[in-house]
Structures are given as C-alpha cells and as structure tokens.
Amino acid sequence: MTQQASHSNLQPAHDPAWRMRVTIILCSLVLLWPMLLITEFKPWQLIDAQSLGATWRFLSGFFPPAHSTEFLLIVLEATWQTIAIATAGLTLALLGAIPMTLIVNEHLSISRIGSGRMHGMARLLRQIVRWKLVLLRSVPELVWALLFVRLVGLGPTAGVFAIALTYAGMLGKVYAEILEANDAHATDSLLRNGSSRLTVFLYGALPNAAPELISYTIYRWECAIRGSVVMGFVGAGGLGQRMDESMKMLSGAEVSTMLIVFVLLVGIADLASKLFRKALA
C-alpha cells in the first residue's frame, strides 16, 4: 500500500500534453468538416428504413453461394484470366520500370563521380524520365482500361495494358527511392573503377536492396489482382467482368461465390509475399 501510495504521488495531476492534443483534434475537425460537406457525406442514410430494407434484400440473396459445377468452372476460368491479366501486366510494367529506374537513380550517375555534380544533360534526362513516371502513375488503371477498351475492344488486353502503364510509373518511382536509400559506397567504388552502370546496379546496388524490391513487387502483384477485378467492370475481362454481369442480373449467390474467390486470391498473394520475405531474410 505504501509503495502504491508513493507511486501515485509521483504521477502528474494532469496530462502535460493535453492542450496540444485538444488543439490538434480541434484543428483536424475544422479541416475535416469542409471536406465532409463537399463530399456530401451522409452516413445516416445507411440506417434509414428504406436503406435497411434494400440492404437486407441484397445481402439475403448472397446465401447460399452459387456452387453448381457449371458455374464453378466459369468462375475458375475467370479467376485464371484475372491472375493472367495481373501477371502479364506486371511483367510488362517491370520491363518499362527497370530501365527508367536505372536512368533516374542518382547513385548510378557516372557524371557526378569526381565533381559530385551531375552533368546538365544527365540531369535534364533524369527530370524528363521522372516526369514520365509521374504521368504514368497519375492516371489510374481504371481510366487507362477505359481508354484501351475503346482502342482494342472488350477483353483482357485492355486490362494488361492498363496495369502495365500505371504500375510502370509506380514501380519505377519506388524502385529508385529504395535504391537511393541504400549506402552509395559500393556503387561509387565500382563507378570510379570504370564499371558500367548495369554492372554497378547488379553488383553494387541490387544485393542490399533485393529483399525490399522483391517484397514491394509481390505487393504490387497483389494490387494488380485487385485492380484487374475492378477493371473487369469496364469490360477488361476476368472476375470483375463476370461479377458485373451477375450484379446486373441481381444474382447475389453468384456474386457471393466470386467474392469468396477474390478474398482467397488476395489471401494467397499475401501468404506468398510472407514466404518470399522469410526466404530472403
């Protein structure tokens, strides 16, 4: 009891940081309120009688999930198509992102060796490629998919191109930041001894950054699977296109089955990512 009493006496009577916390909360609310008004955010609409009735009718159709052999074969084909869209799109994105990463990475700049400053043309080239990466990742894959559906028609090709363009911009930016965050001692030594940029990348920069690069690439593959499902709603094939057709026919049981498959796909991608990280640790 004596120890507890002495311990309680050591505690401050008031939180010394409460004014700052209250100020931050009030400022956040002041900034958030106009955003809620602009977005016409009205969560109470979810719990009025009409919305609750519609929600119940919609969700009650989800059970039991559709499980006929014919439908499961269709879902299996659409699932394989979704994986193929994500994998092919990400592969093309890598083919575009890796060369751009080598160009924008300042640690691989030969012109800065010795003087410490990059040549003017090299700096200009890097800025042009950086803005190209900005352009590619600024346009969401859904918008790219809409454009390619108009150009190449309905089907997986539009989804593959959409993922390739958007993810090339994302991968190029993040790869360059990961490589630049590592120690430049090894790359500088190789460049001073006359090694080519590709050799410096493979033997100086890549070994230290490989686990992080692979982990991020697998995460992007998981994102590509989710993205390919969304793009299916605009006609880019895969599970999304099948789900869109089932929703238009108000077939909740079929939608339920495809949602289960979608969750399993993301779970498998997450498990694969963990296994790769453990193997590389």
Contacts 24+ apart (CB under 8 A), 25-32: none
What is the rounded CA–CA span in Å between residue 86 and residue 222?
8
pLDDT in tens, 236-257: 778 888 888 888 888 888 989 9
pLDDT in tens, 124-141: 888 999 999 999 989 888
Mean per-residue pLDDT, 18-23 = 86
Higher pLDDT, 242 or 5: 242
What is the rounded radius of gyration, in angstroms, for the C-alpha atoms of the chain?
26
Q: Which of 72-81, 142-151, 265-274 has the lowest mean pLDDT?
A: 265-274
Residue 61 pLDDT greater than 70, yes or no: yes
What is the rounded CA–CA span in Å between residue 216 and residue 222?
10
| Contacts of 204 by beta carbon, 8 Å cutoff, 6+ apart | 186, 187, 189, 190, 195
pLDDT at 123: 82
Mean per-residue pLDDT, 188-197 = 80
pLDDT in tens, 147-161: 888 888 888 888 899
Which pLDDT band, with edges at 50, 70 and 90, does 95 fall under? very high
pLDDT at 257: 92
Is there a contact between 227 and 163 (Cβ–Cβ < 8 Å)? yes
pLDDT at 111: 72
Is there a contact between 145 and 162 (Cβ–Cβ < 8 Å)? yes
In sequence order, which ranges of 39-153 are alpha helices (DSSP H)? 49-60, 69-104, 120-138, 141-152
| Contacts of 50 by beta carbon, 8 Å cutoff, 6+ apart | none
pLDDT at 1: 47
pLDDT in tens, 111-120: 776 666 777 7
pLDDT at 97: 93
pTM: 0.77
Residue 34 pLDDT greater than 90, yes or no: no
Tell me, letter by letter, the H, E, C secondary structure of 166-190.
HHHHHHHHHHHHHHHHCCCHHHHHH
Per-residue exposure over 243-254, b if at least 16 CB sit within 10 Å of its own CB, e if not: bbebeeeebbbb
Higher pLDDT, 93 or 10: 93
